[in-house]
Structure 1
């Protein structure tokens, strides 16, 4: 089954901060952009609590708090696909978190888009970046999800910038 991510820049909400999420089965890495949507930085790692059949738990509430804290205009959730573009087993987890955030925002009357972004090789890139900056493997485990969220969001921001230059 081919899984297609959203396109950066299409239906763009304009200036403002974006939140990037790397959704795992145990943790959710969170990153944020600056107000100009050019640079992604790590925020925190949220412990994953909400399962498929659960009501929303503290992890969803915390993500919504972060969205509010940074006054985000767009949420970018990593879509874990294989190199061939097919859905991996983690796709359901990412889509579930995206769905829950979208539902809660919509129910609150907020129209913040929740996008799915290609995240192929972001953990590999994040691990290499941490290693290159001298972070030990043990210390890196605590922040790898944030680093992957930064990679996801930065890729989105770069593609958005290219799109907006081509389509002013």
Structure 2
């Protein structure tokens, strides 16, 4: 399998509609969603990670598919945790596997992208600490906040691409 590469918003943009942001971790999956105008990302929930890289889809993938359908999303952005030098480690391969499973389950109607997410969990944790949330107590919220960071970054790049600013 080739090393996963992050996508960028562009010519294949599906147009208006909600976007789903996904932060894949070893233990949890943070989820965020945008408004219908694709301007602002907000946290949705944290899902227990159940699916391994081999074998059938677990309840975590089932829940992501259900959320995509319930929220009628136009696009899904799965965070791709590349190393600082841009190389892909095991975490990036896990995220790419989740993206593959979502593509397989949702088909071409809902594009699934890989968004560069270097440092998003660290940024989210720092913001949560600044807001007075302890890391141990707020782990689920940090995962959601990381998904918000991933999705908001994508939305900002998309807006710049669409408007040319």
Shift of 1:9: 3.1
Deviations 1:72-101 (A, max 9, x none): 000000001011111122011101110001
* Alignment match, 1:114: 112
Residue 128 (structure 1) shift: 1.1
What is the Cα-based RMSD across aligned positions, in Å?
Answer: 1.5
Give runs of ≥4 in structure 1 deviating > 3 Å.
Answer: none
**What is the total number of aligned residue pairs between the two structures?**
164
Match of 2:153 in 1: 155
CA distance in 1, matches of 2:42, 2:53: 29
What runs of 5+ residues in structure 2 fail to find an aligned partner?
none
Does residue 135 (structure 1) correspond to residue 136 (structure 2)? The answer is no
How far does residue 111 in structure 1 lie from its aligned partner after superposition? Answer: 1.4
| Aligned twin of 1:57 | 58
TM-score (norm 2): 0.94
Distance 2:134 2:153 in 1: 25
User: How far did 1:2 drift?
Assistant: 6.7
Name the CA distance, whole Å, in 1 between partners of 2:4 and 2:49. 23
The 8 Å contact of residues 4 and 96 in structure 2, kept in 1 or not, is answered as no
